A and B are shown apart, each in its own frame.
Chain A
C-alpha cells in the first residue's frame, strides 16, 4: 500500500526502504522522539519529505490531491481533537468534512456502546474526560471507515482494559472490511498482540521489521 524509498526529513527521519502492506495491521514501535509520529504524518501528506519518494497504491503520493488523500488515509492524533459542540456533532465531523453520507442515531449509539461510551448524543463533548474524548475520537474514525487508518497512540489515556476493548473493536472492524491500519505504539505488548507487521524505529531509522504471529484476533 505504501512504499517509502530514501526518505529524509530534517534530522528526524532517515529511512532507506519501508513497505507497509495493504489490508494488514502494521505497528510502528519505538521510544518517544524516535520519529514514529513524523513517519505517520508522511503517509497522509501532513508532512512532505525533504528527500525521497513515497508511493501510495503504486503512485507517487505527491501526485495525489492532499485533501482527497486524507479522506482515504485518515489520521487520529495522539491528543484527540474535540470540536466545540455535542457528541453527535463530533461523531459526524469527519463524515461532514469528507462529504460522506450521515448514519442514523442507531448506528451512532452502536459505535459509542462498542467503546463503552455510554453517553447521550446531545451531551456536550467538551465536558468529557481525557479518556472519553479519546474514545469519542476513535468512534468518529470508525464511522468514517477509511481505506487506511493511521492511529497515533490512540489509547494512551485509557486504562488497560478499555485500551484492549478499543483496539480490538477498531481492528476487528477494519479487518472485517479489508482496510489497512498503521498503529503507532510505544507498547511492545500491544504490537505483539495486534500487529501483523511490526516495525521498530530508532532515531528516525527502521532498525527491525518482522511479520508477527498473532495470538489474538
Chain B
C-alpha cells in the first residue's frame, strides 16, 4: 500500500470552503441557522485539535492509570450527555439505572473486544483502548438516550394500558413489556440499520480512515466487522440493562405505577 498523503495545513483550510458554501446558502435562503452551524464547526475543530494533542501525549505515556482515567472520563461525559439529550423529565432512580447500564453495557464489551477479539497485550494499550472505547461508548450513548426517552414517553402514553394490565393481575414486568420492547427496538434500530447498509450504501468512518492511512482494505474490513459486532453487543447490552432495571423505576413496592409528572 502507498504511504499516507499528509494534508498540508493550507489544504486543510481549503476544506472550510464547504462550511463557507453552507453558510452562504443558509444565509441566502433565510434559514437562520448560520450561527449554530458556525459554532458547531468551530467546536468540532477545537475539540479535535485538543483531542489530537491529548492522544499524542496519552499514547506516548501509555500508562495503565492514564488509560483507565481517560476511559472513566469518556464514560462520565457520555452519561452526562445522555442526561442532557433526554428531553423529558426523568426520575433520579432512572438516572442511576442509566449510569449503571452505560458502565456495565460498555465496560464488558470493551474488555471482551480488547482481550478476546483483538488480543492485545496489555489490554489497556492506549492506542487501541481509547478509539475502540470511544466508538462503543458513543454508539451506546446514542442508543440509551433514545431508549430511555422512548421508555419514559411510552410509560406515560400507555399509562392506562399498563394500569389496565395490572388490574387484571399482570406483574409490572408483563404489564410494561410492550413499552419496554418498543423502546428496545427503537434504541437498537440505528445500529442494526447501519449494519444492513454497510459496505454497499457507505463505507464506515473507521474503515475509511484505516484505508486512507495505508492499511489494506481487507485488514480494514476485518476490523470493521469486529467493531460492528462489538457495537451491536455494546448497544444491545446497554439498552437491555436499561430496560431490565429501568421499567422497575416506574413502579413502587406495591406494584403500583408511581407518579410520573
Contact of A47 among B164, B170, B174, B256 (CB under 8 A): B256
Q: Are the C-beta atoms of A66 and B256 separated by less than 8 Å?
A: yes
Is residue B122 within 8 Å, beta carbon to beta carbon, of the partner chain?
A: no
Cβ of B14 < 8 Å from any Cβ of A? no
Whether A67 is near chain B, meaning CB under 8 Å from some CB there, is yes
**With A79-B160, A97-B174 given, is the CB distance from A74 to B167 under 8 Å?**
yes
Given A48-B254, A74-B169, 12 more contacts at CB 8 Å?
A46-B163, A46-B256, A66-B256, A70-B166, A77-B163, A81-B160, A81-B161, A81-B167, A83-B161, A83-B165, A84-B178, A141-B168
Number of A-B contacts (CB under 8 A): 58
- Is A98's beta carbon under 8 Å from chain B? yes
CA distance A34 to B174 in the complex (A): 32
> With A81-B160, A81-B161 as given contacts, are A70 and B256 in contact (CB-CB < 8 Å)?
no
17 A-B residue pairs with CB within 8 Å: A44-B167, A45-B254, A45-B256, A46-B256, A48-B256, A67-B170, A67-B171, A67-B255, A70-B166, A70-B169, A74-B167, A80-B164, A81-B165, A83-B161, A93-B165, A94-B169, A97-B169
Shortest Cβ gap from A137 to chain B (Å): 9
CA distance A141 to B169 in the complex (A): 11
Once the chains bind, are B165 and A66 in contact (CB under 8 Å)?
no
How many of chain A's residues have a CB under 8 angstroms from any CB in B? Answer: 25
**B 163-197 to A, binary, CB cutoff 8 A, 1 in contact else 0:** 11111111100100010000000000000000000
Interchain CA distance A75-B165 in the complex, whole Å? 10
Whether A71 contacts B169 by the Cβ 8 Å rule is yes
- Asked whether A66 lies within 8 Å of B167 as measured between CB atoms, the reply is no
